[in-house]
Structure formats: C-alpha cells, structure tokens
Amino acid sequence: MTMNRILVGVDTSDSSIMALHRAAEEARMRAAVLEVVYAFSPPEQVTAFPVPPEKGRDRATDVEQARQEYSDKLGRWLEEVDVDLSGLEVEWSVLADRRPSRALVERSRDADLVVVGSRGRGGFRGLKLGSVSEQVTRHAFAPVLVVRESTRE
C-alpha cells in the first residue's frame, strides 16, 4: 500500500510518544512524510471569562505568541523524545484550536493515515479511549490507527 503522508497527533503524553513511535514506523515502511501535529487552545479560549488583551495588543498577537511558544516546546520535545526519526521527512506544526480533535480531523484531509494515542493528558485515567482519539476515529477523512499503551511491546 502506497502512502504519501502519515499524520500523528501529539500532546507530549506517554500515549502520544507511543503514537509517534508507531507513526514513524509506518512512515519508514511506506516512505511517507511524517506530519506531527500539536493543537492547543488559543489564549482567549482557555478560561470561561476571557481576559482583555494587554493595551496595544490584539488577540491575534496573543495567539501567534502562544503558537510560537508551543512550537518551540514541540521542537525541543521532538529532539528529546526517544523516537527514531532518522531518515524520515518530518514536518511538524502547532495549531491553535479550542478542540484538538477538530484540528486533527481537518488535517486528515491531506493524510493517508492518522495515528493517535488512545488517550492523552486530560480526562479520567480509567478511560480506554480519550475524547480526542474518539472524535478523530469518528470524523477523520483518512483511516485512523489508535495506539494503546500496551501495544508498544
């Protein structure tokens, strides 16, 4: 099966590290581009009561500053995480979206396969499937591979 683009959603949790491992394996086997995506809630959407921007600044500036900070963190995380990305064409992006699942679903339009961890940082520890992976499996425009923590062995 020929694939050109493998999309993996990450949030730096253990589950997303395993998803990144699997996505890298898939990209290597298929000579595909590996696209790593991290989505975050824009500053104006983090709280129920939005804080007005600093005088002289607008929301777009705040969102772009937050995106750059997350992008820097993602770059460092990709360098530090124990995942072999050598020999792969890796693209990564940080998206501002209140619902990470929506960001991944939109990005899946250009993907041949979407890889996500079974659950990320939020929610309840006992859940087998987190809200993001559940929504992505329901709505993605490409096949979805959900990586459970026990599948790495």
Residue ranges covered by each domain of the chain = 5-49+56-151
Domain 5-49+56-151 in CATH 3.40.50.620? The answer is yes
**Residue-wise pLDDT tens digits, 36-70:** 999 988 865 445 555 555 555 567 788 888 889 99
Residue 94 CB-density burial (10 A; 0-12 exposed, 13-18 middle, 19+ buried):
buried
The pLDDT tens digits of the residues spanning 8-41 come to 999 988 889 999 999 999 999 999 999 999 998 8
CA dihedral 67, 71, 77, 83 (to 10 degrees): 120
pTM, to two decimals: 0.82
Arithmetic mean of pLDDT, 117-130: 67
